[in-house]
Amino acid sequence: MTVDTLTMTRQLVAAGFDRQRAEAVADALQAANRDLVTKDDLDRAVAPLATRASLYRALWLQTGAIVATVAGILAIAARLP
C-alpha cells in the first residue's frame, strides 16, 4: 500500500494537527506499511509451493497406478498353471 504522506500531512493539518505531528504520523504510517505483504507478493511466494504440491500429487498417482498394475500382473500370474 502506497502512502501519500504529503496529502496525509495536509489533511491532518486541516483537521487541527500541527505540521510537525502531522508529518510524524504520516511518516510512521508509511514506515509501518513497508513490511506489509500484498496479494501479488503472496501469490508469487505461494506459486512454487502449489507447483511442488501438484508434482507430488502426480507422483503419488503414478506410484498408485504402478502398484495397481503390478498387483494385477501378480494376480494374473498366480492363476497361471
Q: How many angstroms separate the CA atoms of 79 and 73, rounded?
A: 10
| pTM reported for the whole predicted model | 0.46
Q: Tally Cβ neighbours within 10 Å of residue 35.
A: 6
The radius of gyration of the chain's CA atoms, rounded to the nearest angstrom, is: 30
Q: How does pLDDT run across 17-71, given as a tens digit for each residue? A: 999 999 999 888 888 888 787 888 888 888 888 787 888 888 888 999 999 999 9
Q: How many angstroms separate the CA atoms of 19 and 14, rounded?
A: 10
Could you tell me the residue ranges of all domains in the chain?
A: 1-36, 38-81
